[in-house]
Amino acid sequence: MSESVKRSIWVYHLNTGGCNACDIEVLDALTPWFDAERFGVKLVPSPRQADVLLLTGPVTIEALPKVVNAIEAMPRPRYIVALGSCGVGGGIWHDTYSTIGGVRELLKILEARGVKVDGVYYVPGCPVRPESILYAIALFKGLVEKKVKSEVAYSD
C-alpha cells in the first residue's frame, strides 16, 4: 500500500462531533491488551506532526472549519482514516441539519478548496472494534489482505 509512509505512523486523533464511543475504542486499541504501538502507531498532539488524521464523528458544521484547518496543517503525504459509521457515511446522523454527513462530503469540500489528501481509509463499525482498528492499521501497512468487496446479486 502506502510506499510513502514506510516508517511508524504518527496519528492525530480528531473527534468531529461523535458520541465518544469510537474514541474509547481508539484508547482500547492502545492498551497493552491490543497494543497498537506494536505497529509503530503513536498518537501525537498536533496535526503538524501527523501522517494520519484519525477522524471520528459525522463532521458537524460547527467542527468543519477546525477539521479543514487541521487537515491543511498536516504535512504531505497526508492520509485520513475515517472511523465508525459516522466517520464513513454519516451514520445515524447522515441527513440531519447540523452535520455534513461523514468523510465523503468532507472530501468534496476539501477538493473544492484545493486541499489534497493522498489517501482515505474507511473503517466501518458502530462503534468500531479495537480489532477492527488493528486490522485497518495492518491494511495500511500492507500486512493483511482486503476482505470486503462490492457485490451485485440478481434475484432471477
Partner 1 sequence: MVRVLKPVELIVVASEKGRVTVKYPYQEPLVTSDFRGAIRIDASKCIGCGACVKACPPNALELLESPERLVIRYFVGRCIFCWRCVDVCPVKAVVGTREFELATDRVEDLFNYTVHRRAECRECGSGFATRRMVEYVTEKSAVSEYYANECPECRKAKILNAVARRRGGV
Q: 3-class SS at 82?
A: strand
Q: 79-83 and 42-43 as β-strands: parallel, antiparallel, unpaired?
A: unpaired
> Residue 109, interface with partner 1 (CB under 8 A)?
no
Site for partner 1 in 5-64 (CB under 8 A): 32-35, 38
What is the closest distance, in whole angstroms, from the C-beta atom of residue 42 to partner 1 in the complex? Answer: 16
Interface characters, 125-154, with partner 1 (x: CB under 8 A): xx--x-xx-xxx-xx---xx-xxxxxxxxx
Q: Which stretch binds partner 1 (CB under 8 A): 6-14, 46-54, 64-72, 88-96?
A: 88-96
Which residue number, 12 or 93, has a Cβ lying nearer to partner 1?
Answer: 93
> Residue 119, interface with partner 1 (CB under 8 A)?
yes
What is the closest distance, in whole angstroms, from the C-beta atom of residue 4 to partner 1 in the complex? Answer: 14
Q: 10-15 and 52-56 as β-strands: parallel, antiparallel, unpaired?
A: parallel
Distance set, CA 129 to CA 21, 34, 36, 115, 132 (Å) = 10, 11, 13, 30, 5
Would you put residue 32 in left (φ > 0), alpha (ψ -120 to 50) or beta?
alpha
Which residue number, 101 or 115, has a Cβ lying nearer to partner 1?
Answer: 101
Peptide bond into 77 cis (omega under 30): yes
What's the grid cell of residue 48?
A: 503538524
Cα Rg of the chain (Å, integer): 15
What is the closest distance, in whole angstroms, from the C-beta atom of residue 102 to partner 1 in the complex? Answer: 8
Which residue number, 47 or 125, has a Cβ lying nearer to partner 1?
Answer: 125
> Residue 77, interface with partner 1 (CB under 8 A)?
no
